[in-house]
Amino acid sequence: MPLFTESDYQPPLFLFNGHLQMIWANLCRWVPKVAYQRERIDTPDGDFLDLDWACIGSEKLVLLSHGLEGHSQRPYALGMAGALKRQGWDVLAWNFRGCSGMPNRLPRFYHSGDSADLRGVMQHVLERRTYRVICLVGFSLGANLMLKYLGEGGEQLDERIKCGVAFSVPCHLSSSAAQLNAWENTLYLRRFMQQLRHKVKAKVRLRPGELDVEGLGALRTFHQFDDRYTAPLHGFKDADDYWHKSSSRSYLGAIKVPTLIVNARNDSFLAPECYPVEEAKGSEFVYLERPEQGGHVGFPLMGEEYWSEQRVVEFFGVHNL
């Protein structure tokens, strides 16, 4: 039932396609710095996670999950943190393993379905803090693992967790990976692969002999990289097994808190399978909004706040948060 057939997002006229909207938002936007306070927590397997807090003493918290090779200082994270602080929320932007500016300790790093780490962060928050309301906002890869976490929790989620908003979600990972092989995404894919290869090389310098780098430079697609590194490092049989088990689309039916998915129709990273229309129609809790414009983690406006930030505040308000 919760399927929005219309969206009010309209980009500036000079940003007339999804590529421009994404590039402007991620490379051209200036965002005021957020005065984060960093906290490092240990993980059960002997690694660590860096949490960046932006607190004003609120009883309400929003937890932000960034995208592939992102971190808490990306413009979309800073913009969202600033907008929510102005609305009276504390903000926690957590960094995935190896994404905080420090290499993590173990051979493994992070992946699209790594809801266990998110669960650990949330458990830390619930045990150490006294928030009355907690909501989650995720971007791209972080949105996928956030949705997976909410679905895995289902009716057993802590009652303080009230709401979620997910932007630009590759909720069907295999089709999204195939989509990124399209010619229009060549530069983006090349950049992602360069970053991931760099991460493997850094890991080898930290832990010599534990990862095989022979042929690393020849890896050109996510399937090749995930087959070679992501899947075996994180307990999956191969890339296809990893994508199947980590795709959040299969978890949407179990979500039991109001959750908004915003996937722009002109997002070049998303295949048709990443628009879960039937799941939204059949759910009491999952809302799907498909703006004609927006790009991938874009949604720019010319003011201080972007439409995505305004949309989160509006969705929270509708649910009296």
Closest CA to 95 of 52, 149, 138, 32: 52
Question: Which helix (DSSP H) or strand (DSSP E) does residue 48 occupy?
Answer: strand 48-54
Residue 298 has pLDDT above 80, yes or no: yes
Domains and CATH numbers, the chain: 3-172+253-318 (3.40.50.1820)
* CA dist list (Å): 245 to 125, 138, 174, 219, 242: 26, 19, 11, 23, 5
Strand bridging mode 133-139 / 161-167? parallel
Residue 4 has pLDDT above 90, yes or no: no
In the prediction, which pLDDT does 183 show?
A: 95
In the prediction, which pLDDT does 213 show?
A: 84
133-167 pLDDT, tens digit per residue, is 999 999 999 999 999 999 999 999 999 999 999 99
Residue 86 has pLDDT above 90, yes or no: yes
* pTM score, whole prediction: 0.96
